[in-house]
Chains A and B, each alone.
Chain A
Amino acid sequence: MSIQLFLLVGVALFSIGVYGVLARRNIVGILMSVELMFNAAGINFVAFNRYLHPDGVWGQGFVLFIIALAAAEAVVGLALVLTFYRGSKTVLVEKMNLLQG
């Protein structure tokens, strides 16, 4: 069990999340892909914490902050999605061009 394996899992999860953010049309799908990227960062933080600084917990503390901010982001983002859907009856991002003029 080496640190590279954990980092590779993190890299793969992050790449999957990047693909989802770039390619999906559904705004809820994009939010889910952002959650995947947050979790990739969390795996990396905890792996570095465990292997490079095994006596401290600073990396895990940062992951707690990531989780809290991800929860806040998800709540606000989904409230915005609901509000937008009520007005325009769509969740597809290419229809979200109110500010285009």
Chain B
Amino acid sequence: MVQSIIFSFLAVLVLFPAVLVVTSKNVFHSALWLILSLAGVAGMYALLAADFLFAVQLLVYIGGVTIVLLFVILLSGKPSDWAGRQVNEKAWAAGLFSLFLLAALGSFVSEWPLVPVTSAPKLTSGPLGELLFREMVLPTELISFVLVAALVGAIYFSVKKRGPS
């Protein structure tokens, strides 16, 4: 019962700000709503007994990605961008398509067979560490390489070129 109340609260916290992310005129407001929606997703992880992912979601998404987003919005926009229309001419088709997607996928997943949770929640940090550095050690090393490449690429793109070149 308590879980259902928490779930409904979290569902509203995920979906209502998400709608405002894609509809609000001011992109800065969109980014602020995105923070709230991602916090709701972190709550979903906590409700699904994924404690380590809850912390990672808060640290990486809310502490990292959205801050970079806010910086880029402040550096790259001008107020006249926020005055005009924020959606293109085909927005009605996009809305129809996403409603169709919602109906199709929703009817698909609502026929999913009911599976009860059998085990009590337990801490996941230890098992996740063992998974990452035992079974998935090669993908883990690869993802660190990808992160370094993204870092170097981002610096390369965003540094101003000086002199004749």
The contact of B109 among A7, A54, A56, by CB within 8 Å, is A7
Q: How many positions in chain B have a CB within 8 Å of any CB in the partner chain?
A: 82
Contacts of A92 in B (CB 8 A): 81
Quick one: CB contact mask for A15-28 with B, threshold 8 Å, 1 for yes? 11111101111101
Q: Are A60 and B128 in contact (CB under 8 A)?
A: yes
Minimum CB–CB distance from B131 to chain A (whole Å) comes to: 5
Contacts of A10 in B (CB 8 A): 109
Quick one: CB contact mask for A72-96 with B, threshold 8 Å, 1 for yes? 1111101111110110011110100
The answer to whether residues A5 and B7 also contact, given A18-B97, A46-B50, A67-B57 and a CB cut-off of 8 A, is yes
Q: Are B49 and A23 in contact (CB under 8 A)?
A: no
Q: Are A23 and B88 in contact (CB under 8 A)?
A: yes
Quick one: CB contact mask for B83-104 with A, threshold 8 Å, 1 for yes? 0011110110111011101100
Pull 20 A–B residue pairs with CB atoms less than 8 Å apart, ordered by A. A5-B7, A8-B110, A13-B18, A15-B98, A15-B101, A17-B22, A19-B98, A22-B98, A24-B87, A25-B88, A29-B22, A29-B86, A57-B131, A61-B136, A63-B50, A65-B139, A75-B151, A76-B150, A78-B69, A82-B75
